[in-house]
């Protein structure tokens, strides 16, 4: 919030709207470049892209996304002379509109949004109400109010923003408890730590993954065992004879349910990044196909074939699974898998809450962050899951190839975790939850449109008042 306040001060002191836009563009380009710098590891270390081109690609992505904020800063400077309260809300609305655009347009990449910086502070109280983008709006309002106060303006706005920060510290816990326990589920989470440069190699990573995951899956005796994204790195038809049937027989006639990351499909039908679930008494596997695909990783945008040809990464165009796929029943709980960075999109996870009786009681994320080594990407992704846990008041279990493999409760507290970059098995329990938070209710029905409407109304009010005062 303080960094945002410095930005607002810089915008308010800019002599022209163009200079204000330029300052915001530089600020955001640096911020985003340092937020997802770890993309360089995937592009250069594992993709073989020349280092200079890797740096240029990351800065270019940050700069392109920064244009949303530059336009917001331009508009804010044009209208900042309105009443301080309106000016502060105008900045919050414009900033949030830029965040929403970055996180949704052109498939969206909202990684590092401001809302994720407030998971352990008082603003986290509002996540079950307004989601991470709504918390980002409140933080931007507070930042603008601080900046205006420094300029000896906006005492009322600062006072109201301070009340928003203090209220969660005084409110009884019952005022923000929307879910109830539904039962306890024993879980086993597998972390194979297969080196990324060997993961898809037939002479090293592939046989190691097949052997280790098969052994651990069959040794597990908890109600649910989860193996990460592409834990089985081959299509079913490419597996050694008898490999998959042995797993099917074990779980169909056993007491545990297994969620296993595996690619599916064929050249003629297309491919999907999927998980299959093998459950007691179920002859046919349960299936979930990833809905939100990664640009350049799982689909190649038009006009960018030349870029992907320069990298030695198994890329392709995957088929997209439907939104709001049903949950997996496990020992009385409803488990909702999501793959990789799908948990970045809370509005898409919310689509499963349209019918409260069928809503998930536990979320399960399967990921492979081996592309990014021991970088901050692992911590950032853990925080993304924590934000979703708070928004929906649901526990999260995370099974990853290299980390962070962890069990989160419905209050986003990490109950157990494996050390990153190690091979290990995490056994624990998770308490499922029923009930629907306000955010889950409105996002399931309207997506992020309510926030868009609030932002556009505030922007329109600032524009109208700005015209009157000129």
Catalytic residues: 229, 290, 340
- Scan for tokens 């290990």, then name that residue: 424
Q: How far is CA 167 from the centre of its chain?
A: 27
**Looking at the chain, how many residues does it have?**
470
Distance CA 427, CA 416 (A): 9
H-type helices in 237-375, by residue range? 243-252, 305-309, 346-349
Extract the tokens encoding 293: 């695909």
The residues, ordered by sequence, that sit 6+ positions from 326 with a Cβ below 8 Å of its Cβ are 358
Burial of 425 (0-12, 13-18, 19+ CB in 10 A): middle
Helices 84-104 and 449-468 cross at an angle (nearest 10°) of: 140
Radius of gyration of the chain (CA): 23
Extract the tokens encoding 327: 């949950």
The residues, ordered by sequence, that sit 6+ positions from 441 with a Cβ below 8 Å of its Cβ are 353
Closest CA to 333 of 295, 373, 360: 360
Extract the tokens encoding 279: 């459950």
Contact by Cβ (8 Å): 320, 291? yes
Closest CA to 425 of 200, 212, 211, 276: 212
H-type helices in 409-448, by residue range? 438-446
Distance CA 405, CA 415 (A): 11
Extract the tokens encoding 314: 């198994």
Beginning with the edge strand found earlier in the chain, give each strand of the sheet holding 270-278 in spatial order: 286-289, 270-278, 257-266, 224-226, 180-191, 424-434
Burial of 384 (0-12, 13-18, 19+ CB in 10 A): buried
């Amino acid at each position: 919030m303080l960094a945002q306040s410095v930005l607002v001060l810089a915008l308010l002191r800019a002599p022209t709207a163009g200079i204000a836009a330029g300052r915001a563009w530089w600020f955001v380009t640096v911020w985003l470049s340092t937020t997802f710098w770890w993309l360089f590891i995937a592009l250069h270390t594992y993709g073989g892209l020349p280092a200079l081109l890797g740096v240029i690609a990351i800065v270019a992505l940050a700069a392109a996304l920064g244009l949303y904020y530059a336009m917001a800063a331009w508009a804010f400077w044009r209208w900042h002379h309105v009443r301080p309260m309106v000016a502060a809300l105008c900045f919050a609305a414009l900033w949030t509109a830029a965040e929403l655009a970055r996180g949704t347009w052109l498939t969206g990449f909202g990684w590092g949004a401001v809302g994720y910086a407030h998971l352990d502070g008082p603003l986290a109280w509002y996540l079950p109400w307004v989601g991470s983008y709504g918390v980002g709006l409140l933080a931007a309002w507070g930042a603008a109010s601080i900046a205006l106060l420094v300029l000896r303006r906006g005492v009322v706005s600062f006072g109201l923003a301070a009340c928003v920060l203090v209220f969660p510290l005084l409110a009884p816990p019952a005022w923000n408890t929307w879910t109830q326990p539904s039962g306890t589920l024993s879980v086993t989470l597998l972390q194979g730590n297969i080196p990324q440069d060997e993961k898809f190699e037939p002479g090293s990573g592939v046989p190691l993954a097949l052997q280790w995951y098969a052994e651990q899956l069959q040794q597990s005796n908890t109600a649910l065992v989860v193996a990460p994204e592409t834990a089985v790195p081959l299509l079913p038809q490419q597996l050694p004879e008898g490999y998959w049937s042995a797993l099917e027989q074990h779980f169909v006639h056993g007491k545990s349910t297994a969620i296993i990351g595996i690619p599916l499909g064929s050249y003629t039908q297309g491919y999907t990044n999927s998980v299959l679930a093998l459950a007691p008494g179920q002859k046919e596997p349960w299936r979930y196909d990833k809905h939100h695909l990664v640009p350049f990783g799982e689909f190649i945008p038009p006009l960018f074939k030349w870029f992907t040809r320069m990298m030695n990464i198994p890329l392709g165009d995957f088929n997209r699974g439907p939104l709001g796929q049903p949950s997996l029943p496990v020992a009385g709980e409803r488990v909702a898998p999501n793959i990789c960075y799908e948990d970045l999109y809370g509005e898409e996870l919310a689509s499963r809450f349209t019918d409260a009786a069928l809503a998930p009681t536990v979320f399960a994320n399967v990921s492979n962050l081996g592309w990014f080594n021991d970088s901050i990407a692992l911590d950032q992704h853990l925080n993304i899951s924590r934000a979703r846990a708070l928004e929906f008041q649901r526990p999260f279990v995370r099974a990853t190839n290299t980390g962070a493999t962890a069990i989160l409760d419905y209050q986003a507290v990490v109950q157990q975790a494996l050390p990153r970059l190690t091979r290990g098995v995490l056994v624990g329990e998770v308490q499922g939850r029923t009930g629907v938070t306000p955010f889950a209710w409105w996002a399931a029905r309207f997506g992020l449109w309510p926030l868009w409407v609030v932002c556009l109304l505030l922007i329109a009010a600032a524009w109208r008042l700005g015209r009157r005062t000129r």
